[in-house]
Amino acid sequence: MNNLKFLLFSFLLTGLFILASCGGGVDCDDTAGLQSETSRLLNAAITAENTYSADTTDTAACNDYSDALKELIDYTKDAEECVPADELEEYQDNIKSLEGTLDDLEC
């Protein structure tokens, strides 16, 4: 599960730190707000991952981790419209990796 930390860090750096202006469900012009929310969600997912990793038999910890991943995935899908075209494929691959991590959880 430590791979998730590297994936999330890569996700943050390659995706939302190089946003382009656009309209839609999120304010793509609010780069600071996007970065702040992404950091909050990443930290929540990493914290939940660490808690779950400490005791993989803890159903509540697994559910918390699952919820944190779902929230991160939902937000990053909403923010996808803000990603420049030349970064979009890698960004979408990162979302798929997060979804794979979520699918692998057995809560």
Q: What is the DSSP string of 19-53?
A: -----SSS-TT-HHHHHHHHHHHHHHHHHHHHHHH
| Token pair in block for residue 79 | 């923010």
The phi and psi torsions of 31 (rounded to 5 degrees) equal -60, -40
C-alpha–C-alpha distance, residues 6 and 28, integer Å: 25
- Residue-level pLDDT at 22: 46
- Residue-level pLDDT at 12: 56
Map tokens 């943050």 to a residue. Answer: 12
pLDDT at 94 over 50: yes
Give the pLDDT band of residue 21 (cuts 50, 70, 90): very low
Kindly report the average pLDDT of the chain as a whole number.
80
